[in-house]
Amino acid sequence: MSTTSTTRLGLVKPTPGTGEAVNRTVMNSDYDIIDAAIGATICTSGTRPTVPFHGQLIRETDTGRMYICTNTIGPVWSQIVLSGGSFLQAGGGSTATFRANLSSGTATGNRAWAFRGVSETTDRFWFDYDGMHQWAGTSGAGDTNLYRSAANVLKTDDELHVGAGLSVLSGVGHEQYVEKTSDQSRFSNTALTNDTHLFVSVAASATYVFELYLMTNNSGAGDPDIKLGLTFPSGTISWTSFGLDVGSAGSTGSLSVNTWQETSTSGATINRASTTTMASMLIKGRFSNGVTAGTLRLQFAQVTSVAINTTLFTGSYMLAKRVA
C-alpha cells in the first residue's frame, strides 16, 4: 500500500505504475478528510486541530471566533474578522498600522486598540479597556489623554487648545450673549416695558452671573432719566449698577454705585441719568432661579414722564453665564 500523501490534507496517493488495488477503507478516509476540510473546520477553543495545514480555517462554536493557521509549528492561529465574535488581534510586527486586543479583560492601562505609523515600532494612539484615549509622540510614551472621569463627565489631565469657538450648549458653563440690533425708545411713559432684545433663558434651580452694558440718551430737552428693571420666574437676584446719577446733565456728572437684592419676580428698579448726549451704564449681578425655568429680561421706562424719546441704543448687550 502506498505511503505517499498530499502535503496539506495528508490524503493517501496511489503509487503510479504499480497496479495497486483500491483500498476502500483508505479511500473513504480520504473522502472524510476532504469533507471536513471544505470551508472552515468546526471546533471549540479547546478542540482546535493539533496538526493543521497552513492556511486552514477554523471556527470556534464556543467563542464565535474564526482563525487561520499561519504557522503549522506550534501551531499559530491568527484571528480574522467574523461578525458575532470578539476581535482579538490584527496585524503585528514593525509594519503594523493597526493593532487590537479586545479580550474579555478590563484592566486599566491595558490597550484594547492601538494605531501606529507604517514604519514605526511604537503606538501613536490607543485606548484602553477602561475607555481612556491616549496619544503619544515618537517615543511611544502617552502624554495626552481623554477619558470618562465620572457619570456624564469627559476629562483630560492635559491642556486643551481650541482653534475656533468652544460652546457649552447647556448646564454649568453655558454662556448666553444677546445684543440690541436696533434702537428702542420710551416716550412720555413711566411704565416698565420689556426690552425686545436683552433677555436670556434660565433653567430651573440654576444660578447665573450676568452683565448688562447699556447706552442711552434723550431726544431733546427735558430730564426724564431712565428707569431699569429685571424680571425673572422666581428666586433671588442681587445686582450692582455703575452709572451717572439721576439729574446729571451732558456726559458728565456724579458716578453712582447702587446694590440691590430682590426676590420679587418683577425685580428691583434702578434710576439712572439719560441725557441729550450718550450716557452709558454697567450692571453686574447674580441670579439664583427657583424651580421653574423661564426668562431673565431687562425692562426700561422713563423715571419722569416727558414728551421726548428715552432710547436704548443698538450695541447695548446682556451676558449671562450659568455657574451652578
Could you say which of 90, 120, 155 is where a domain stops? 155
- The number of folded domains in the chain is 3
Residues 295, 189 share a domain = yes
Neighbours of 318 (CB within 10 A): 24
Cβ contact 285:213 at 8 Å: no
Enter the DSSP assignment of 72: T
Residues 315, 198 share a domain = yes
Question: Is the pLDDT assigned to residue 266 strictly greater than 70?
Answer: no
Question: Is the pLDDT assigned to residue 300 strictly greater than 90?
Answer: yes
CATH code of the domain in which 273 resides: 2.60.120
Could you say which of 74, 89, 113 is where a domain stops? 74
DSSP for 232-298, written as a single string = -SSEEEEEEEEEEPTT--TT---EEEEEEEE-STT--EEEE---SS-EEEEEEEEEEE-SS-EEEEE
Reported as half-sphere exposure (CB side, CA atoms, 13 A), residue 277 has a value of 7
Quote the CA–CA distance of 149 and 152 in Å, as a whole number: 8
Residues 228, 186 share a domain = yes
Cβ contact 148:155 at 8 Å: yes
Residue 161 lies in a domain: no
Residue 132 lies in a domain: yes
Residues 130, 256 share a domain = no
Quote the CA–CA distance of 273 and 217 in Å, as a whole number: 9
Backbone angles phi, psi at 183, to 5 degrees: -70, 155
Q: Give the SS3 label for residue 189.
A: coil
For residue 116, the model assigns a pLDDT of 73
150, β-bridge pairs: 153
pTM for the model stands at 0.61
Residues 205, 314 share a domain = yes
Residue 168 lies in a domain: no
Residues 247, 114 share a domain = no
Q: Which of 194, 208, 226, 182 is nearest to 297 (CA)?
A: 194
* Structure-block grid coordinates of residue 146: 481623554
Query: Cell 471546533 maps to which residue?
Result: 43
Residues 150, 186 share a domain = no
Q: Which of 4, 8, 57 is nearest to 33 (CA)?
A: 8
Cβ contact 287:231 at 8 Å: no
Residues 308, 258 share a domain = yes
Residue 79 lies in a domain: no
Cβ contact 176:257 at 8 Å: no
Q: Show the domain range for 311.
A: 175-322
For residue 185, the model assigns a pLDDT of 94
Residue 89 lies in a domain: no
Cβ contact 169:203 at 8 Å: no
Could you say which of 74, 89, 108 is where a domain stops? 74
Residues 48, 138 share a domain = no
Residues 299, 230 share a domain = yes
pLDDT in tens, 214-237: 998 887 777 788 888 899 999 999
* Structure-block grid coordinates of residue 33: 478528510
Question: Is the pLDDT assigned to residue 30 strictly greater than 60?
Answer: yes
Residue 145 lies in a domain: yes
Residue 165 lies in a domain: no
Residue 186 lies in a domain: yes
For residue 84, the model assigns a pLDDT of 41
Residues 210, 315 share a domain = yes
Residues 44, 141 share a domain = no
DSSP for 24-56, written as a single string = HHHHHHHHHHHHHHSSPEEE-TTS--SSPPTT-
Quote the CA–CA distance of 324 and 314 in Å, as a whole number: 31
Largest CA distance in the chain: 130
pLDDT in tens, 62-118: 888 889 999 999 999 988 865 444 444 444 433 344 555 555 455 667 777 777 776
